[in-house]
Amino acid sequence: MSILSELAIPLTREQSIDTASAYAEQIKGSPRLKTLAYWRFRAKEQGAPAWFIKMIDVEVNVIINRLVILEEWGRAGDSWAFASHTMRLIYWADMMARQYINPHMMDAHNTDKVEVWLQTFNQKSPRRD
């Protein structure tokens, strides 16, 4: 996963704004974001179902909105956690698209505990009716 460079912890509101803007620029230039775009194009080219493309696009829209928030940051405080979470969202969306196109990437992942875990819920609705 791409890592943000560590910037000095901002001490003033102005420094917070500058730091958030710098994180936005780092994210926009990150190789992982470019790879996400590549795999999104590939998914469409290879005929991924519309629901899957929509799922990726919803994630990308969240990422874009978070970049706008970083660019327009107007509060005091360190934006590192917000920017870092944005990078994680990029990673997850990238991996979803990548693994859809290359399902063999999931072969090494073991899912044997999922069925046991699901049985603990006994098919009950999570809602409290």
Locate the domains of the chain by residue range: 13-119
Most confident by average pLDDT, 3-12, 64-73, 105-114: 64-73
10 Å CB burial of residue 48 (0-12, 13-18, 19+) is: middle
Is residue 93 pLDDT above 70, yes or no? yes
Averaged pLDDT score across all residues of the chain: 90
Which amino acid type is present at position 95? M
Question: Of 9-18, 75-84, 98-107, 109-118, which range is least confident?
Answer: 109-118
What is the pLDDT, as a whole number, of residue 90?
A: 97
